[in-house]
Structure 1
Amino acid sequence: MHRTASSPEENSNKMVASYYRDVHRESSETRSHAKKADHGKLTFLKDDIEKFDLQDLLTASAEVLGSGTFGSSYKAVVVGQPVVVKRYRHMNNVGREEFHEHMRRLGRLKHPNLLPLAAYYNRRDEKLLVTEFAENGSLASHLHGNHSAEEDGLEWHIRLKIVKGVARGLAFLYNELPIIAPHGHLKSSNVLLDESFEPLLTDYALRPVVNPEHAHMFMMAYKSPEYAQQSRTSNKTDIWSFGVLILEMLTGKFPENYLTPCYSSDADLATWVNNMVKEKRTSEVFDKEIAGTKNSKGEMIKLLKIGLSCCEEDVERRLDIKEVVEKIDVLKEGDDDEELYGSNQGKAYSVRGNDQEGYSFTLDR
């Protein structure tokens, strides 16, 4: 019998099936817990959070934080502790036991740059995921929110700290989860900031349990060309998203491709940055709200180059996660002796050629 090529959906299902075969080897305890988890009750995954029941959650005063492609998110204060509850209506890609297994595996993930999953509620037509509340909101709100005249934008050292934390959290997911594109939904609104502006990744590793058609339309907000055009994912799909996130942080621009389900180089942030660099207008790329210093100029350009290397349209030339972390970890904050943006002093960024490693940046003085 003639065998036809597998569709993207079939490949996705095969990936999920392979993942769960791996999980089943450690799932005997999980199955027992799943059977004990009564329908209509919250299942807690963290021991250091005070337990409460669904009724407590439903009767608590709630503040709507936002409404996304999957559902709404709320902040509620339950038994004296602030939590965030997200409602999901398109998470029926796996059965009940597999869903419990996946949630418990996520609950075992521990890293300083991951927002832990504290509890969940499982019903066929609706899922609730509960996390702790992050004091400083999302990175997106700091980059694109309405700032008052007295409120400064994020300083360079804070932006670098966030980039380094996101890279480490992403690398941890790659090491711990045997699935393609371990985050699967990386964007600035899914990077939360704690009281010291340490980044916390959220909404990670949900792709295996989300309905495939919904995942394709609404996950991978920063869609790589191969994903948008061919529904093809790889271990470098998250890297593209991270590259766009880096460029978003450096430029302060909202990625236009986020608003469309397809990929267009004309509306791509990486393409715009590349064109500005080729035109020797690199100094115009950077967000004017970055409070930087003289000695951070070179570091900012190095990070810009890393972002562009993460956004290579050729997947083979795109950096892998190990290379990304190595390059980012060595970046420095710089000294606080001179403002990056001040009066015109005849200094500008320029580009010198283009080699196998990407653009080679220099400073004109």
Structure 2
Amino acid sequence: MSANIGCINVGPDHFHCRYDHSALSSETMLSPVTSPFEDALAALRISGSVLLHECYRPPWAIEVPDERQLQKLLGAKSDVRVLPFHLVRHGSFVLHHDGLEPIDVETNDVVICTGGKRHRMAFGAKSEAVSLADILSGEADRREVASVARDKRTTELICGVFLLRSVPLNPMLAALPPVLKLRTAGDDASPLLMRVAESLGEELALGHRSSFTALRLLEVFCAAAISQHRRAEGQHLPGWFKALDDPKIGSAMARIHQNPGAPWTVALLAEAVAMSPSRFAARFRETTRQSAMAYVTRWRMSVACRLLRETELALPEIAAEIGYQDTAAFSRAFKALVGQSPSPWRQQTRLRSNTFPAA
């Protein structure tokens, strides 16, 4: 099986919504609310590409560059996050990731590298690593590639990337560890992830690496993997995933996501979930590791980034969408979190989008 490079051009749907900026009514306070998990997941605009589907015989090693180099290698836009993934269909390897202890990866495991660091996959006695760039360009010596299908000594590996858009300040991406290791079979695997991994393997076995079905499976694969991480690990450590499952804090976060332009205060959020302001503020900080109003501001600016990137709305309109009647105050809050004022950020983001081929 030969290597095939390709970034998938999946243009995001334009994100545009209108919020009710009036004071919160009792109906709004009590109505069913948006799922922050689904909201943040949808905001990532996930697509993907399979780069390799090969069998390797030991010893072998493959070096994967850091995210900036991957962006250049794949011709991805510079504002698109590139997350490599490695799915073992058969066999095993050891993942050596900068800043982490070696990770054993076995049959039906998938690892997703979210931290942007370079890493190396290897199996067997010490072997000089072949760079992913050389593999994709066809310049690498491929003696380690098995000439026949899998056997007891080979590792069948599917390697690819997930491409994430609209990621500035997205709380889900910030909450993920640098490496996700998940099972795609057995009792520890979710039924959805198991089915998607199997279906992806079947599609690739037919040589349909860039088929419509394969591309949609990659989107679901990424979403299912994050969902499985949330259920398996996310509830055990303070942070965004754990907060989602807190009856009070999760409900407050859902209201923020449902209506980021509302005039939220700690008192209003506390009232919405039937807590005193002091208890709510302390519990929110303990659970999420940030204050409630800091979360409100960050989610508002995440929405603003999407509107700046994907719509032609003027700054006063965007400011009003997320609850700012004063455009100057919106610009100051945006710059404090993003590092640039909204107008130059919009201009540079669109310029970067035209610098590379569409990702």
TM-score by length of 2: 0.28
TM-score (norm 1): 0.27
Higher relative contact order (CA 8 A, sep 6+): 2
